[in-house]
Structure formats: C-alpha cells, structure tokens
Amino acid sequence: MRDWNVLATAREGGFARARRLLAGLGQVAETRFYNVLLARVSDPRALLPRLSELAAADPGSVACLARVAPADRTFAFQTAEEFLARAREAVLELLPALGGRSFHVRVHRRGFKGTLHSQEAERLLAGAVLEGLEAAGRPGRVAFEDADAVVAVEIVGSQAAVALWTREDLARWPLLKPG
C-alpha cells in the first residue's frame, strides 16, 4: 500500500483480528514484516478516539492491537541518504510546534537493515530540529524522559511516515507508544 497513513502492529496471535478491526475503519494491507499492517483512513488523527470508543464499548475489541501510529506525512525513498533528506524536510515542518519545547525523535525501522540505522537517524533528525529552532530564535532541547513532544518516524520498507505527538497525546492514547 503506497498511500497509507496509519501503521499498526498486532499482538501475538492477534494479526487476523487486528486486520479485520482496521478493515472496518479503512483500507488495510499486510506487509512483509511480522505483525505489521498499514491502513488508509479518512482522518488518521480521528482513529485513536474511534478505537478508544470501541474499547469503551467492548474492552476486548482492540486487545489485538499492540500499537497504532497515525501519520501526518508519508513519503517514499530508495536509499538511506534519500530517507534522511526527506525525513529532514518532514521534521523541519514541525518546527513551529516544537519551538521552546523539549522533544526527542524516535525512529522505528522495518527494512533497510545494515544501511539505515535508527539511532543515527534519530540523532541526525534531532540535530536538524535543534538547528532549525535555534535559527528561528525559539530553541528547544532534547529530552528522553517526560518530553513535551515526540517526533515519531515509522519506516516500512522504502516508505516512511512522520507524526508529532505531545505528552498529552501520549498519556491520552496508550496505543501510540512511540517509545
């Protein structure tokens, strides 16, 4: 699926159920990665409240899901260098929301083993954000504990997604779990 805007991971033994659940909310596709699904929904930010409503009505209905990661922006890439350049563009679009705040970048990589390293990408992208904030006169800082925001980057093969989640979002939506 090329036009996805949600990544979901299923709990052990819950893949088929997770696929059915998400299919009732949008288009769903399997990936070549274990327990990883991609979905296209009309409003990715509305998916978490919808799943919360389903859980309130039937607590077991979303138990098949380990994690749900809606995306604000997605892009394709072919090389590690292209990923870093396109991801840098995407995270720099988040500067207005990150000015004067603490944050960290979390990259979840599926694919590109040996050519793209999550921790290096996190460091480079956080550095780009810090430089951009400094240049804008609204410095921020990296914090791994109790950060104001998390820049979440999901990589699935040669596609990636970026989203910004606040401390409040993370507390409100346990399925986010960006780490």
- Mean pLDDT for the stretch of residues 7-22: 96
Is residue 137 over pLDDT 90? yes
* Listed range (69-73, 87-91, 97-101, 172-176) with the worst mean pLDDT: 172-176
Instruction: At 28, give phi and psi (nearest 5°).
Output: -130, 145
% of the chain residues with pLDDT over 70:
99
- Mean pLDDT for the stretch of residues 70-88: 96
Structure pTM? Answer: 0.92
- Mean pLDDT for the stretch of residues 48-61: 93
